[in-house]
Every structure is written in C-alpha cells, then in structure tokens.
Amino acid sequence: MNLKHLAHWLALAETGSFSRAAEKLHITQSALSRSIHVLEEELGGPLVDRVGKKNEMTPLGLSVLERARRIVHEAQELKQGAALLQQGGMGKLRVGLGSGPGAMLMTPWLQYMAEHHPLVQVTVSRGSTELQLMQLRERQLDALVVDVRRVAAATDLNMAHIVEMRAGFVCRKDHPILSLHPGKVPFDAVLAYPVASTPLSQEVARILVDHYGPRANPAQMTTLQCEEIASLIDVVQQTDAIYLGILGAARRGLADGSLVELALDPLFSGEARLALVTLAGRTELPIMAVFRAFVSSRLGD
C-alpha cells in the first residue's frame, strides 16, 4: 500500500473537499481523484460517497481514517528520526505542562535547554489538561506532564508515574486568619476569604468533601480559578486570598517566609500524582530521554 495514497486520503478527509485537498497537497484535482480511486481498489470498497457537492465518508472510510493517520504520522516520524540520527542532532520537542508542573518546570526547563542543548527547538505549551490531551493525540505535542487524576485511562496513552506532591492551603504571612486562629485553623474560617485554585479533578473534590463536608466542594468553594499557578500565588501574596494546590508551586514563598501553610483542623492530606504522558506506539524522539530525566530529577528534588 502506497503511503502517498494514504496521505492523499487524509487530506481529503480533513478538508472534506477534493478541490481544497488538492490545493493543500499541491496536485491537480484529477490526480487526487486517481489516487483515492487506487486506494479504494486496494481496500476493496469506496472510502467516500460523492453526494452532489458533498463528500461523506463511508463506514469503510471512517474505519480506515484513524489507522491511516497513525501510519502516515509514524512514517513521517521515522523519517525525521533517522535523519536526525544521521546528522547527530536531537531535533525538537513540544511539551505540554499542567498547572502545577508548569509552575515548577517551565522556566528551569527552558533555562536548562538553553544552556545544555542550545540547538534543539523547544516549545512549552500551557492550558487545560483536556486541551493538551487533544493536542497530544493530534501530534501537536510530544509529551505532557500533568496530574493523572485529571486524565482518563486510555489504551492510546502511556502514563509514566513521576512523583506524588503534597497539596495544601497557603496564605501570606500577615494574613488576618493567622492572628484570629493562632493554632489550628477551622475550615469554616477559610471560607470567609477568597479561595484561589486551579481546576481540580473529581477525585480531589471528593477528598475535600470527605474531609470538610459539602461546603468544601471546589465548585462552590473556589472563587478565583485559572490554570496559571504563578498568577494565583501573586494574588495570594498581595491580598487575603488563600491558595489551594500543590505546595511545591509555592515553594519560594514558603521558603523565604512570605507565605505560610495553614494547619487546618482537621489536617488536609491531599496530593497531586504527576506523570509523564505520551502517545502509545509513537516513535520516541531522541531528546525525549533528556526531558524525562530532567523532569524526574527536578520534581524529585
């Protein structure tokens, strides 16, 4: 089976139009039609129904689509990887970082690559876990570092556990809650202030509710929410907002004393389970080994 025919079929499936697909491929529309016809003959049936000006995929076309996409992408990666190895290079790496990992890894990773692998093209993307999973599956990203509690188990994903990181509640050192409750802080006292957090998984929500009751449900408790923990920490440093999340992301403030972890009553014992997520069956880029070692070392510390 000719890879070129599969690539032509993918272009047609993605654009939904023979004319747009031909333009994208820089070939004539008649050449594209011949290519699709050859592929249909090889597979023993039509891949697309031509209904007037519309092109609709047949059941056979739908079943072929995902396999064709995987085969074409794997062939492209194999060719790219072989060329890089022949040239002695390490290529490029596109990674997605979840909220907590992004706060702890993004700047150190970029700095490390600038110093040790200056010729490698590095891209770091931030965003919701759901968006990044879609980008990984569409091969727009090569790997993710996220909390696996926000990732549904799937056969097309490899999830390599890295570390478990404790979570908690943090406020600025001169927050009024500390003078009002110099010892253990009752949970209800926290609710008198804005609570800042990233989107939390259902599992974490259940842990919070089990600890503190229905009022701890993040859907009601969290008043300030975004994916950028650094912004949340800045807000906590300057206001009476209280941060809920991975303590490692607030490590600088906790270390220099500008931030304080609240000792709640009862004590909160939540944690994030961070993992490196890659696409199963995908050819691993040479630079991936460097990224994996860096992440494990950095988060382990």
Whether 90-301 and 3-86 are alike in CATH topology: the answer is: no
Say which CATH architecture domain 90-301 belongs to. 3-Layer(aba) Sandwich (3.40)
pLDDT at 260 over 60: yes
Instruction: Give residue 111's pLDDT band: very low, low, confident or very high (50, 70, 90).
Output: very high
Taking only Cα atoms into account, the Rg of the chain, rounded to an integer number of angstroms, comes to 25
Which CATH fold would you assign to the domain 3-86?
Arc Repressor Mutant, subunit A (1.10.10)
pLDDT at 52 over 70: no
86-90, Cβ contacts within 8 angstroms, sequence gap of 24 or more: 89/119, 89/120, 89/286, 90/117, 90/119, 90/120, 90/285, 90/286, 90/287, 90/290
Instruction: Give residue 53's pLDDT band: very low, low, confident or very high (50, 70, 90).
Output: low
| pLDDT one-digit tens code per residue, 59-86 | 888 888 878 877 877 777 667 666 555 4
Domain boundaries, the chain: 3-86, 90-301
Which of 93-97, 142-146, 248-252 shows the lowest mean pLDDT across its residues? 248-252
pTM of the predicted model as reported, rounded to 2 decimal places = 0.65
Query: Chain-wide mean pLDDT for the chain?
Result: 87
Number of H helices, E strands in the chain: 13, 13
Predicted local distance difference test score (pLDDT) of residue 39: 85
92-97 and 143-147: which strand pairing? parallel
| pLDDT one-digit tens code per residue, 113-143 | 999 988 888 999 988 889 999 999 988 999 9
SS3 of 71-128: HHHHHHHHHHHHHHHHHCCCCEEEEEECHHHHHHHHHHHHHHHHHHCCCCEEEEEECC
